[in-house]
C-alpha cells in the first residue's frame, strides 16, 4: 500500500518490528529526490509515494518532511555504528527466472509452494502445490478452491519464501496483494534506476519500493512488473530474468500509446453500452440506420461488424473488431450472431437481404450518371426521327405483369386479304437516347441487367430515364424498333422486316386481364384473338422442328414495406401454359428468330444464342403427365446453352435455326448491344461492335447475369418460406410428385405455392400423382422447409 503526501510523508511502521531500517528510509528519501528531479516529466503523478515497510502488518504514522530527514539521519548513524548497512548490489536474492529454472527443470517443486499459473489464455491464478501428478505435472489447489493438474510450462511465477503455504490462505494473500498495488511506485523506481542505469530482479524491486522482499511484497512487485507496459523491459541474462528501465523517449511514446489505448477502450465501452441500450428498445424506438453513421468512430466499428456478418471482411482488423464486439455482447463469434445483433439494434431490418449485401451489386446510380440521364431527357433528341415509319394507326397491346416498372415490348396483328397473319413486335428503342461508349452505356454494361427482387427493382438505367424516356407508355407516342412478320399457314416465316418506328400503345394489360379478354372472345378485340391464333401456329411449328415444351408453374412475390418486421406479402402463381403467357412468349421467340435471320443475311455480328439438342428423345417422356411433371424431367436432360457472335447456331430447345435476345433492351445489356448493331445497320453507319468485342462484353455481362439470377432465386425462395411460415398451422397444400430421390423421399411441387421441396410419400404413390402435405417447419433465414404427407380429405 502507498500513501500520498505533499507537505508531509506518511510512513508505514510495523508494530512488531524495530525502527526503520536504513535501506527503507533511504528508499523513501531517494524516491523523494527522484520526484523532485522528474516532476516536470511526470506531470500525471505529482505526489510523493512512500512505502518503505512490509505490507503484511502495517500501522500508519505521519511525520513532517523536516522530522523525516532528522529521523533518517539518526537512523543512518545508528546503523553505521552497528555495521548493518547492506548494499543492494550485495543482496543474495534468487530471481524468478532462477526459481523456475531450478525448481521446474530439476523437478524439485515441493508441496506447499505458492505459485502463479496460466489457467487459460486470459486468466492467471495463484495456487498451492499439493503433489506430483505423473512425471512432470503437479496437482495444485487454486485461489478458487479448485484442484487441478498443471503442466510445468503453465507456471508463470513461484513466490519466493512462501513455503508450507495453505490453500485456505490464498484468498487473503491475493486480497492483500491487490489492495496494495500502486503502479505509480514503478514510476518512481524507474526514475531512480534510469538515472543509475541499473536493472533489477523482482525481489530487488520489492526491497526497493516496499522496503522488504517478503513473499507478499515480492508478489506485489511481480504483479506490478508483469502488468507494466511502459517503464520496464524484461532482460535475459544467463537464464535469469531481470528488468531494465526503458529510455525516457521510449516511456514517453509508450505512455502516449497507453493513453490512446485507454481512450479507445473508453470509446469501445461507450459503444457497447449504446448497443445494449438499442437492443432493449422496442422496434419502433430503435435508432435509425443513419444514426450509426453519424460519428466516424462508431461507424468504423459498426461497419466492421457488418462486414463480418456478410463474410466480406477486407482486413483482419475488421474481424478483430467484430469479434471484440460480439464477445462484449455475450455472443458467439459467428456471422449469424453478428447478423442477429445488427437486427436487434435496428441497423438491419428483420428481413435483411444478406445475399444482396454479400454480392455487393450496384443498386443506386452515381450522381454523374443521374445528371447525364437528366441531360438526355431534357435534350430529347431522336437521331432516327427521319427514318421512322408511322405505325400509330395500329392497335397496340402491351402485356406484362401488373407491377412491371419498365415496358420493353408490345404487339399488333392483322389478317391480310389472302388470309395470312401479319404480326408486329414493337420493342422499346433506348438507343434513340443512349449511344455506345457513353457514360450511361458504360454504367449499364457494368450492371449487365436490371435486378428484380420481391422487395425492390434496381433498374439497369436510371429510373426516370428508363420510365419516362425509354419505356412504352399507354396513349403516348413512343419510339420503337418494330419487327413485322407474315406467317405461312404452318406457322413458318414467309416475310419479315425490321424498321425504326413510332407507335402509340393502346392497351396496357396484365396477363390475367389479357387471358380474360381472350376467353370473352370480343369482336372489338379481334386483333388479340389473331395474336393468340398466331401463337398457336408458332408453337405447333416449333414442336415440329424439335422444340421442347418446358412450360411450368412460376411464382412471383411482391413485398410491401420490406423493412417492417411483418411486411405485406402478395404471392402470385402463374402457369406458363396460360393463354396470354403463351401468346407473349411465342411472339418474343418469333422476334428472336427474325433478328437472327436478319443478322445472318446481312453479316451482322450479334449475340446469337443456341442450345444443343438433348441426347434423349422427347418421346422418352411421353408417359409422364403434360405440364410441370414432364417439363421438370425434360429440363434435367437439357444441355448447356452456347453463344456465337458471327453466325446463328441452332437452338434445339426452341426448335429454331437461330435466335437472338432482342426484346428487353431496357432490362438486359446484351439485348441493348444487339440493338446497337441492328440500328447502326439500318442507318447505314459503321457497326459499333466487332464479333470479338461482343464476345468480350458477353463474357462479363453473362457472369453478372448469373450472379443476379442466383440472387433473384434465393430472394424469391426466402419470401416463399416466410409466406409459408405465416400460414395457419395444419394448413393443407396440394402437391405433384416430380421424381424420387431415394426410396420414398420424393421431390414434390406445391402447386398452390410454386415451390419445390422434398418429402416422404406413402408406398404406392407414383411420379405424377397428387398428394396433400402440411408444413412442419419453415425458417427462411436458415432455408429450411420441412413437409409431411397427410391423408387426402
Judged by average pLDDT, the poorest of 611-615, 641-645, 676-680, 705-709 is: 611-615
User: Each residue of 247-262: pLDDT tens digit?
Assistant: 999 999 999 999 999 9
Burial of 671 (0-12, 13-18, 19+ CB in 10 A): buried
CA distances from 348 to 128, 357, 736 (A): 51, 11, 37
What average pLDDT does range 339-354 have in this prediction?
Answer: 96
CB 474, CB 462: distance < 8 Å: no
CA distances from 507 to 474, 475, 587, 718 (A): 6, 8, 17, 34
Q: Within 10 Å of residue 394's Cβ, how many Cβ atoms?
A: 21
Does residue 786 register a pLDDT over 90?
Answer: yes
- Residue 8 pairs in a beta bridge with 64
CA distances from 97 to 93, 237, 506 (A): 11, 10, 94
Does residue 48 register a pLDDT over 50?
Answer: no
Helices and strands per DSSP (H, E), number in the chain: 21, 29
Distance CA 451, CA 466 (A): 14
User: Each residue of 569-583: pLDDT tens digit?
Assistant: 999 999 998 999 999
Distance CA 263, CA 394 (A): 74
Average pLDDT over the chain, rounded to an integer:
86
Residue 401: its pLDDT value, please?
A: 86
Q: Within 10 Å of residue 46's Cβ, how many Cβ atoms?
A: 11
Is residue 245 helix, strand or coil? strand
CA atoms within 13 A on the CB side of 405: 19
Q: Which secondary structure element, helix H or strand E, spans residue 251, and what is its range?
A: helix 248-280
Distance CA 587, CA 535 (A): 7
Q: Within 10 Å of residue 229's Cβ, how many Cβ atoms?
A: 10
Residue 793: its pLDDT value, please?
A: 75
What average pLDDT does range 395-416 have in this prediction?
Answer: 91
Does residue 54 register a pLDDT over 70?
Answer: no
CB 580, CB 511: distance < 8 Å: yes
Does residue 463 register a pLDDT over 90?
Answer: yes
Task: Please report how the helices 316-328 and 335-344 are oriented relative to each other, as an axis angle in degrees rounded to 10.
Answer: 60
382 pLDDT band, cuts 50/70/90, is confident
37 pLDDT band, cuts 50/70/90, is very low
* Contact partners, residue 604, CB within 8 Å, separation at least 6: 598, 677, 678, 681, 687
Is residue 774 helix, strand or coil? strand
Task: Please report how the helices 22-37 and 65-82 are oriented relative to each other, as an axis angle in degrees rounded to 10.
Answer: 140
Q: 655 in the Ramachandran plot: left (φ > 0), alpha (ψ -120 to 50) or beta?
A: left
43 pLDDT band, cuts 50/70/90, is very low
Q: Report percent pLDDT > 90 for the chain.
A: 75
Does residue 142 register a pLDDT over 80?
Answer: yes
Does residue 408 register a pLDDT over 50?
Answer: yes
Does residue 151 register a pLDDT over 70?
Answer: yes
Judged by average pLDDT, the poorest of 3-17, 319-333, 532-546 is: 3-17
CA distances from 701 to 449, 611, 696, 704 (A): 8, 19, 9, 5
What average pLDDT does range 672-690 have in this prediction?
Answer: 97
Does residue 136 register a pLDDT over 50?
Answer: yes
* Contact partners, residue 706, CB within 8 Å, separation at least 6: none
Q: Within 10 Å of residue 739's Cβ, how many Cβ atoms?
A: 14
Does residue 783 register a pLDDT over 80?
Answer: yes
108 pLDDT band, cuts 50/70/90, is low
Judged by average pLDDT, the poorest of 231-245, 301-315, 592-606, 666-680 is: 231-245
What average pLDDT does range 304-331 have in this prediction?
Answer: 95
For Cα atoms 290, 296, 302, give the angle at the middle one, nearest 5 degrees: 60
Distance CA 183, CA 175 (A): 16
**Phi, psi values for residue 183, rounded to 5°:** -55, -20
What average pLDDT does range 76-104 have in this prediction?
Answer: 40
pTM: 0.76
Does residue 99 register a pLDDT over 90?
Answer: no
Residue 237: its pLDDT value, please?
A: 52
Does residue 600 register a pLDDT over 50?
Answer: yes
102 pLDDT band, cuts 50/70/90, is low
Residue 329: its pLDDT value, please?
A: 97
Residue 79: its pLDDT value, please?
A: 38
CA atoms within 13 A on the CB side of 324: 16
Judged by average pLDDT, the poorest of 90-99, 227-236, 367-376 is: 90-99
Amino acid at each position: 500500500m502507498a500513501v500520498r503526501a505533499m507537505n508531509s510523508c506518511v510512513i508505514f511502521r510495523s508494530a512488531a518490528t524495530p525502527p526503520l531500517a536504513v535501506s527503507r528510509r533511504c528508499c523513501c528519501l531517494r524516491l523523494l529526490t527522484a520526484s523532485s528531479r522528474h516532476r516536470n516529466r511526470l506531470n500525471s503523478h505529482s505526489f510523493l509515494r512512500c512505502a518503505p515497510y512490509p505490507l503484511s502488518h502495517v500501522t500508519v504514522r505521519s511525520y513532517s518532511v523536516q522530522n523525516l530527514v532528522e529521523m533518517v539521519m539518526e537512523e543512518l548513524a545508528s546503523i553505521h555504528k552497528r555495521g548493518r548497512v547492506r548494499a543492494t548490489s550485495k543482496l543474495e536474492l534468487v530471481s524468478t527466472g532462477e526459481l523456475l529454472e531450478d525448481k521446474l527443470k530439476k523437478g524439485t517443486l515441493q508441496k506447499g509452494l505458492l505459485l502463479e499459473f496460466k489457467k487459460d489464455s486470459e486468466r492467471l491464478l495463484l495456487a498451492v502445490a499439493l503433489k506430483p501428478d505423473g512425471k512432470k505435472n503437479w496437482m495444485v489447489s487454486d485461489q478458487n478452491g479448485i484442484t487441478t493438474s498443471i503442466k510445468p510450462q503453465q507456471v508463470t511465477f513461484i513466490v519466493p519464501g512462501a513455503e508450507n503455504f495453505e490453500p485456505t490462505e490464498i484468498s487473503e494473500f491475493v486480497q492483500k496483494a491487490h489492495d496494495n498495488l500502486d503502479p505509480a511506485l514503478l514510476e518512481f523506481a524507474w526514475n531512480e534506476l534510469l538515472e543509475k542505469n541499473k536493472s533489477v530482479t523482482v525481489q530487488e524491486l520489492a526491497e526497493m519500493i516496499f522496503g522488504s522482499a517478503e513473499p507478499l511484497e515480492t508478489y506485489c512487485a511481480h504483479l506490478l512488473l508483469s502488468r507494466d507496459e511502459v517503464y520496464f523491459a524484461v532482460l535475459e541474462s544467463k537464464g535469469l530474468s531481470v528488468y531494465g528501465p526503458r529510455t525516457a523517449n521510449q516511456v514517453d511514446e509508450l505512455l502516449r500509446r497507453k493513453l490512446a489505448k485507454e481512450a479507445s477502450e473508453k470509446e469501445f465501452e461507450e459503444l457497447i453500452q449504446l448497443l445494449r441500450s438499442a437492443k432493449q428498445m422496442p422496434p419502433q424506438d430503435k435508432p435509425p440506420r443513419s444514426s450509426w453513421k453519424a460519428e466516424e468512430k462508431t461507424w468504423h466499428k459498426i461497419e466492421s461488424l457488418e462486414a463480418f456478418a456478410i463474410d466480406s471482411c477486407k482486413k483482419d482488423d475488421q474481424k478483430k473488431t467484430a469479434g471484440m464486439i460480439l464477445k462484449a455482447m455475450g455472443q458467439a463469434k459467428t456471422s449469424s450472431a453478428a447478423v442477429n445483433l445488427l437486427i436487434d439494434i435496428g441497423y438491419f431490418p428483420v428481413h435483411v437481404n444478406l445475399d444482396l449485401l454479400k454480392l455487393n451489386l450496384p443498386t443506386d446510380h452515381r450522381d454523374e450518371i443521374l445528371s447525364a440521364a437528366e441531360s438526355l431527357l431534357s435534350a430529347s433528341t431522336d437521331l432516327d426521327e427521319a427514318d421512322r415509319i408511322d405505325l400509330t394507326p395500329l392497335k397496340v397491346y402491351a402485356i406484362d405483369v401488373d407491377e412491371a416498372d419498365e415496358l420493353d415490348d408490345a404487339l399488333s396483328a392483322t389478317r391480310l386479304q389472302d388470309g395470312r397473319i401479319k404480326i408486329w413486335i414493337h420493342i422499346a428503342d433506348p438507343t434513340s437516347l443512349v449511344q455506345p461508349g457513353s457514360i450511361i452505356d458504360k454504367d449499364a454494361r457494368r450492371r449487365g441487367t436490371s435486378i428484380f427482387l420481391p422487395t425492390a427493382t434496381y433498374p439497369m438505367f436510371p429510373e426516370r430515364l428508363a420510365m419516362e424516356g425509354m419505356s412504352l407508355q399507354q396513349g403516348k407516342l413512343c419510339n420503337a424498333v418494330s419487327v413485322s412478320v407474315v406467317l405461312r399457314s404452318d406457322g413458318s416465316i414467309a416475310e419479315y422486316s425490321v424498321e425504326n418506328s413510332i407507335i402509340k400503345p393502346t392497351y396496357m394489360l396484365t396477363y390475367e386481364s389479357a387471358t380474360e379478354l381472350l376467353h370473352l372472345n370480343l369482336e372489338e378485340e379481334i386483333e388479340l384473338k389473331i395474336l393468340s391464333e398466331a401463337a398457336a401456329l408458332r408453337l405447333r411449328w416449333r414442336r415440329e422442328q424439335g422444340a421442347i415444351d418446358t412450360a411450368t408453374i412460376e411464382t412471383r412475390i411482391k413485398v410491401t414495406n420490406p423493412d417492417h418486421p411483418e411486411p405485406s406479402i402478395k404471392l402470385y402463381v402463374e402457369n406458363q401454359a396460360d393463354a396470354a403467357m403463351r401468346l407473349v412468349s411465342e411472339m418474343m421467340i418469333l422476334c428472336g428468330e427474325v433478328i437472327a435471320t436478319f443478322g445472318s443475311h446481312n453479316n451482322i455480328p450479334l449475340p446469337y444464342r443456341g442450345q444443343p439438342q438433348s441426347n434423349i428423345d422427347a418421346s422418352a417422356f411421353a408417359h409422364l403427365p403434360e405440364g410441370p411433371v414432364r417439363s421438370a424431367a425434360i429440363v434435367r436432360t437439357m444441355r448447356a446453352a452456347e453463344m456465337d457472335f458471327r453466325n446463328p447456331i441452332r437452338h434445339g430447345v426452341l426448335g429454331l435455326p437461330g435466335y437472338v435476345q432482342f426484346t428487353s433492351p431496357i432490362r438486359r445489356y446484351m439485348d441493348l448491344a444487339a440493338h446497337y448493331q441492328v440500328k447502326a445497320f439500318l442507318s447505314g453507319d459503321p457497326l459499333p461492335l466487332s464479333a470479338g468485342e461482343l464476345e468480350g462484353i458477353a463474357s462479363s455481362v453473362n457472369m453478372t447475369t448469373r450472379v443476379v439470377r442466383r440472387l433473384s432465386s434465393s430472394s424469391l425462395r426466402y419470401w416463399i418460406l416466410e409466406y409459408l411460415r405465416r400460414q395457419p398451422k395444419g394448413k393443407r397444400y396440394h402437391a405433384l410428385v416430380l421424381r424420387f430421390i431415394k426410396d420414398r423421399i420424393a421431390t414434390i411441387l406445391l402447386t398452390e405455392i410454386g415451390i419445390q421441396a422434398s418429402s416422404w410419400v406413402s408406398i404406392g404413390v407414383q411420379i405424377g400423382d397428387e398428394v396433400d402435405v402440411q408444413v412442419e417447419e419453415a425458417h427462411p433465414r436458415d432455408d429450411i422447409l420441412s413437409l409431411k404427407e397427410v391423408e387426402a380429405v
